[in-house]
């Protein structure tokens, strides 16, 4: 494709994306595609000769659009807001257009330095402790795994330079609550700890980790000759917005010499609101922190920020320095390849730059506050309506709810819950995620898509009331 052909087709595509966003309300929220429906319509081999842009557009309309779930739909209340602000979309387009690959500073000086500055911007507006230094990772899952590898290496005094974990006499232990995201267990397993060495700490009635239980487990492991290595605390747990008590946990981490990683993947966006920063009190005692602006903030997947208290340790663990990557500026500049797992790095900071510059912090804060108010409105409605329950403390914008008709319990109640939520989801008018909490199905309502208004939330509430009248 020549630059001029790109210009022409690119304009068409930008119009197409703009039309998609402008008309998204008219689409169903969640896909009702059947398995393999798309696959059977795609040729099994690549074309030998070029196809026309028109043919491609036709297939985008015919094959792709009807077979996607519309995460940007204002009636999307599933999982978490995976907001893709159009400013960020343009930043991402620039990243692809410039085709940068940050193997080292010299390979793209602007990639490195823009990233450094964006991390500082977010750090300042979010009151992230100033001694921490950040890097952009792809996802929170990667960030957690990097944190656990770093913890492992600190605890074993760099066993990677010897026999690795396999050469260690003592088992290294990790602690996290039952409300942690599944990526924490996965990160622990992939970092080599082994399932037997992952400890699930009990939670209280608010679903927050209980520090006294954590301490009891740490002491128990020490008594057994094991080595407590890391704690992963969550601020804003995926299911219930659990917020583990960081000050107490940080105290224990310090006392027993454990690494403390704070997973604030979803809730971290709320750190731009001064009135919500109390949720993150105690962060100064953490060794690492992760937050995902590609969730509620709107920075377009993937953009996960990882901050560490000791960047030198991170670099020592992650560093590679083959001759072909060495340059005359080494020593004066950051080499972000040494701050994570991949060598090649995209220019992800561009989408954050576009979002922050073209929206401004004040507007971003106003949008998040709108979502908090909408969640508070729904909470009030549900709590004051007979037979409806809110099961979690609504700390941000996610409600865990259940409709509990008199006399319905156990498996029958589960059946009722799944029936009404599945009816809403199948209608295409809204999307909610059912999940199990304390052994029973409930429904999560995660408010905060870019275009979700109070009227939309009111509409959802009407849909829910209608659905339970089944």
Ligand X SMILES: Cc1ncc(COP(=O)(O)O)c(C=O)c1O
Binding site for ligand X (CB under 6 A): 80, 139-141, 181, 183, 234, 236-238, 263, 265-266, 292, 304
Closest distance of CB 128 from ligand X, Å: 17
Q: Which is nearer to ligand X, 304 or 335 (CB)?
A: 304
The residue assigned the tokens 């036709």 is 58
Beta bridge partners of 401: 390, 443
Q: How many CA atoms lie within 13 A of 63 on its CB side?
A: 14
Q: What is residue 195's three-state secondary structure?
A: helix
Beta-carbon count within 10 A of 283 CB: 25
Q: Which residue has the tokens 């729904």?
A: 378
Nearest CB to ligand X, comparing residues 269 and 452:
269
- CB closer to ligand X out of 153 and 263: 263
Q: What is the DSSP-derived secondary structure letter of residue 158? A: S
Q: Which two tokens stand for residue 396?
A: 């941000």
E strand or H helix that includes residue 307: strand 304-308
Q: What are phi and psi of 54, to 5 degrees?
A: -65, -40
CB of 46 to ligand X, least distance (A): 30
Which residue, 300 or 335, has its beta carbon nearer to ligand X? 300
d(CA 24, CA 271): 29
Q: How far is the CB of 176 from ligand X (least distance, A)?
A: 11
Whose Cβ is closer to ligand X: residue 181's or residue 444's? 181
Nearer to ligand X, 90 or 265 (CB): 265
Task: Give 105 or 280: the residue with its C-beta nearer to ligand X.
Answer: 280
Shortest Cβ 294–ligand X spacing (Å): 7
Which residues have C-beta within 8 Å of that of residue 178, sequence separation ≥ 6? 200, 201, 202, 203
Report the C-alpha gap between 271 and 278 in whole angstroms: 9
Q: Nearest-CA neighbor of 206 among 249, 240, 247, 250?
A: 240
The minimum distance between CB 234 and ligand X, in angstroms, equals 6
What's the closest the beta carbon of residue 151 comes to ligand X, in angstroms? 17
Nearest residue to 459 via CA among 415, 433, 427, 422: 427
Q: Which is nearer to ligand X, 103 or 349 (CB)?
A: 349
Cα–Cα distance measured from residue 354 to residue 468, given in angstroms and rounded to the nearest whole number: 43
Peptide bond into 254 cis (omega under 30): no
Q: CA dihedral defined by 139, 145, 149, 154, rounded to 10 degrees?
A: 80
Strands (E), 34-89: 76-77
Least distance in Å: CB of 30 to ligand X?
Answer: 17
Geometric angle at alpha carbon 20, from 17 and 23, rounded to 5°: 150
Distance, CA of 82 to CA of 449 (rounded, Å):
7
Query: Phi first, then psi: what are they for 77, rounded to 5°?
Result: -125, 20
- Nearest approach, Cβ of residue 174 and ligand X (Å): 15
At its nearest, how many Å lie between ligand X and the CB of residue 31? Answer: 19
- 29 vs 303 by CB, closer to ligand X: 303
The least CB distance from residue 231 to ligand X, in Å, is 15
**Size of the chain, expressed as the number of residues it contains:** 470
Question: Which of residues 266 and 318 has its CB atom nearest to ligand X in the complex?
Answer: 266
């Amino acid at each position: 494709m020549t630059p001029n052909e790109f210009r022409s087709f690119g304009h068409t595509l930008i119009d197409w994306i703009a039309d998609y966003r402008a008309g998204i309300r008219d689409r169903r929220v969640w896909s009702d595609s059947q398995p393999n429906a798309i696959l059977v319509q795609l040729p099994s081999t690549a074309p030998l000769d070029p196809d026309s842009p028109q043919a491609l557009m036709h297939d985008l309309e015919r094959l792709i659009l009807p077979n996607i779930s519309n995460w940007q739909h204002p009636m999307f209340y599933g999982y978490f807001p995976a907001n893709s602000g159009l400013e960020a979309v343009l930043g991402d387009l620039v990243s692809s257009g410039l085709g940068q690959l940050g193997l080292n500073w010299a390979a793209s000086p602007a990639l490195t330095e823009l990233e450094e500055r964006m991390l500082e911007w977010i750090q300042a507006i979010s009151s992230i402790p100033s001694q921490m230094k950040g890097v952009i990772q792809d996802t929170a899952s990667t960030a957690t795994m990097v944190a656990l590898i770093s913890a492992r290496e600190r605890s074993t005094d760099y066993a990677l330079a010897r026999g690795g974990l396999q050469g260690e006499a003592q088992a290294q232990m990790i602690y996290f609550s039952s409300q942690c995201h599944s990526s924490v267990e996965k990160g622990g397993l992939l970092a080599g700890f082994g399932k037997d060495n992952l400890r699930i700490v009990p939670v209280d009635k608010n679903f927050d980790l209980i520090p006294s239980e954590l301490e009891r487990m740490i002491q128990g492991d020490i008594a057994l000759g094991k080595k407590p290595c890391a704690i992963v605390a969550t601020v804003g747990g995926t299911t219930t917005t659990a917020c583990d008590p960081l000050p107490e946990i940080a105290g224990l981490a310090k006392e027993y010499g454990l690494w403390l990683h704070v997973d604030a993947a979803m809730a971290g966006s709320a750190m731009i609101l001064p009135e919500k920063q109390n949720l993150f009190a105690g962060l100064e005692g953490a060794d690492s922190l992760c937050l995902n602006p590609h969730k509620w903030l709107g920075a377009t997947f993937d953009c996960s920020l990882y901050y560490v208290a000791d960047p030198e340790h991170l670099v020592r663990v992650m560093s590679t320095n083959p001759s072909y990557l060495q340059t005359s500026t080494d020593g004066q500049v950051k080499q972000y390849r040494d701050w994570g797992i991949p060598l090649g790095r995209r220019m992800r900071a561009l989408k954050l730059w576009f979002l922050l510059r073209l929206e401004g912090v004040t507007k971003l804060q106003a949008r998040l506050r709108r979502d908090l108010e909408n969640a508070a409105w729904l909470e009030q409605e549900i709590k004051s309506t007979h037979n409806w329950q809110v099961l979690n403390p609504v700390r941000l914008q996610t409600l865990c709810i259940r409709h509990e008709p008199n006399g319905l319990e156990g498996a029958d109640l589960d059946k009722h819950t799944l029936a009404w939520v599945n009816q809403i989801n199948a209608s295409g008018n809204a999307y909610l995620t059912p999940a199990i909490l304390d052994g029973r199905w409930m429904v999560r309502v995660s408010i905060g898509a870019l275009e979700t208004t109070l009227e939309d939330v009111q509409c959802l509430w009407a849909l829910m009331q209608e659905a339970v009248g089944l």
